[in-house]
Amino acid sequence: MIKPNVVVDQNRLAVTHVDALRALLDFIDEFDPDQVMIAEGSGDPLSRFRSFGYLELGREYPVEFVDLNKGGYEEIRLLTADFGETGAGCPRSRLGATVEPRSP
């Protein structure tokens, strides 16, 4: 899952540039992933993906665009830097996602 910075909908200088995502997708592609998602939860993610040219990446790469606002959240526990715990909301639709290292 790639989570770019897309918290505004008007200023291109305040969001992750589409070419930065393209470079990251080129790198990730070398590992032949089963699935790649670009996900966002600020405002209207799909509208922002469209505004900043992210949806064009779907024509170049096998990538899924995900609105993290859909499907609700589930509380998960995370370890903090001082070995304590804190809670965080994790999108329910992504709780089963796995990361598997692969050789190129």
Between CA 6 and CA 52 the distance in angstroms is 9
pLDDT at 99 over 60: no
pLDDT for 30: 93
Please determine, for residue 20, whether its predicted confidence score (pLDDT) is greater than 90. yes
Mean of all residue pLDDT scores within the chain? 86
Q: With 70 as the cut, is the pLDDT of residue 97 above it? A: no
Q: Which two tokens stand for residue 71?
A: 């499907």
Cα dihedral 18/53/58/102 (nearest 10): 10
- Express each pLDDT in 40-90 by its tens digit: 988 899 999 999 999 999 999 999 999 988 878 888 888 999 999 999 887
What residues does 85 pair with on adjacent strands? Answer: 79
pLDDT of residue 73: 80
CA-based angle 65:102:62, to the nearest 5? 25
Q: How confident is the model at residue 11 (pLDDT cuts 50, 70, 90)?
A: confident
E strand residue ranges, 14-84: 37-40, 64-67, 73-79
Tell me the whole-structure pTM to 2 decimals: 0.74
Mention every residue, 6+ apart, whose C-beta is less than 8 A from residue 88.
Answer: 75, 76, 77, 78
